[in-house]
Structure 1
Amino acid sequence: MTRDGNRRAKDGRDQAELTEYRRRRDVDRSGEPTGSGAIGDEPQFVVQRHDASSLHFDFRLQIGDVLVSWAVPKGPSLDPREKRLATRTDDHPLAYADFEGSIPPGEYGAGTVVVWDRGPLQNRTRHDEQDISLEDALVAGHLRVELFGEKLTGQFSLTQTRIRGNDRNWLLVKVDDDDADRRRKPERTQPESVLSGRTNDDLKD
């Protein structure tokens, strides 16, 4: 396949991956982005604190050219003893990594969103002493990444489960490495955005 053919095929896959994202939203009303655009020289992660019908954290990893996303009700923990439920949601465009704002009533996900943490990530997934791509790890239902954020650092694992009979449910767990911390609770004590310093309450007010 030619380079142009490869690019068209990749663009087609990206469009398909974002079909559900676009179907659920009126972006003219919500102000949410649709563009793809690179967000860094290396893969990135973003965690958005989303005060919607219930407060939760949207944990997003750049895999390919989309942000693969999970909703984490209690937020990511630095304590390796804590297993956090993470429910897979629709993939988001890369431009969403910068999104902060108030999604109006009546729209999907109505509520306030701030960028709670963000930074580069490195894939640390291995099986039988072989490196596994994040794309393949996602299909296999287990991945491990190292995060280089302001609040979240070190390795985290995500493992698909059958909790409540739903294969969209995963478990997010901090790996017990040098960055693990059983006392610090940034998901409770640091609600502010790493981009703007604002909190969800600031966007309500």
Structure 2
Amino acid sequence: MSLNKYTQKRNFSFTNEPQPEIEKSISELIFVVQKHAASHLHYDFRMEMEGVLKSWAIPKGPSMNPADKRLAIMVEDHPYSYKDFEGIIPEGNYGAGRVIVWDSGTYTLDGDSENIEDSFKEGLIQGHLGFTLRGHKLVGEFTLLKLKGKQENAWLLIKKNDQFAIDNDILRQDKSVISNLLLEDLV
């Protein structure tokens, strides 16, 4: 896992995004979902692994409805400290636009809890990651499934049918879980 692509895409003299440093949680692995109004509104789903945040851009946002299969485009790894990033990325910079932390929490990976990093890598290679989220908004079991025959980095984020599944649009809960701000409140 590397932060080279993250670093190459940013000029830290012009953006207040976190510096590319490897860090880890002390105990449980974290996830974060950032609502990002860049050239197009999307949600960035990030999962901690090996000191970075593995990241997928979800154009329509995550869903708690198992019938919804959300396209998730795998993007460059982000630094662990990005988990708290909210603000405005200035025009002319990669990802220019407003960012809030829409959801955050911890996760567990399905499978071998003894070798979670190996299980995560194997899931990426095989194109199937099963996990359980414990967030403010997203809870329960999910799957990331790599699409075959599509572009190399295309996955689907799917909510499993468990006791937390709902039909309601979870995206209507649109405030930050850190600052309680809406995207348009950022100045």
**TM-score band, normalised by the shorter chain?**
over 0.9
**Quick check: 1:125–1:134 contact (8 Å CA) kept in 2?**
no
Q: Which residue, 108, 121, 134 being the options, matches 1:135? A: 121
* SS of 2:14 mapped into structure 1: helix
* In 2, Cα distance between equivalents of 1:125 and 1:89: 24
* SS of 1:20 mapped into structure 2: helix
Residue 185 (structure 1) aligned with residue 176 (structure 2): no
Q: Report what 1:92 is aligned to.
A: 78
* SS of 1:95 mapped into structure 2: helix
TM-score normalised by L of structure 1: 0.84
* Bigger share in helix: 1
Q: CA-to-partner distance for each residue in 1:142-187, whole Å, 9 max, x for gaps?
A: 0011000010000110010036x302000000000111111x2121
Report deviation, 1:191.
1.1
Q: Which has the larger Rg?
A: 1
Report deviation, 1:122.
0.4
* In 2, Cα distance between equivalents of 1:24 and 1:155: 33
Q: Which residue, 143, 148, 156 being the options, matches 1:171? A: 156
TM-score normalised by L of structure 2: 0.92
Report deviation, 1:29.
1.1
Aligned-partner residue type, residue 186 of structure 1: I
Q: Report what 2:24 is aligned to.
A: 38
* In 2, Cα distance between equivalents of 1:83 and 1:100: 27
Aligned-partner residue type, residue 191 of structure 1: D
Aligned-partner residue type, residue 200 of structure 1: L
Q: Which residue, 77, 84, 93 being the options, matches 1:107? A: 93
| Alignment size in residue pairs | 182
* In 2, Cα distance between equivalents of 1:159 and 1:122: 17
* In 1, Cα distance between equivalents of 2:72 and 2:120: 17
* In 1, Cα distance between equivalents of 2:71 and 2:36: 16
* In 2, Cα distance between equivalents of 1:89 and 1:152: 21
The 1:32–1:197 alpha-carbon spacing in structure 2 relative to 1, beyond 3 Å, is same
Q: Report what 1:50 is aligned to.
A: 36
5+ residue gaps, structure 1 = 1-13
CA RMSD of aligned residues (A): 1.6
1:22-37 aligned within 5 A: 22-34=7-19, 35-37=21-23
**Quick check: 1:51–1:112 contact (8 Å CA) kept in 2?**
yes
The 1:181–1:174 alpha-carbon spacing in structure 2 relative to 1, beyond 3 Å, is same
Q: Report what 1:74 is aligned to.
A: 60
Q: Report what 1:18 is aligned to.
A: 3
* In 2, Cα distance between equivalents of 1:52 and 1:79: 26
Q: CA-to-partner distance for each residue in 1:97-155, whole Å, 9 max, x for gaps?
A: 010010000000000000000001000147xxxx8711211121100110000100001
Identity %: 42
Q: Report what 1:199 is aligned to.
A: 182
Report deviation, 1:40.
4.7
**Quick check: 1:125–1:137 contact (8 Å CA) kept in 2?**
no
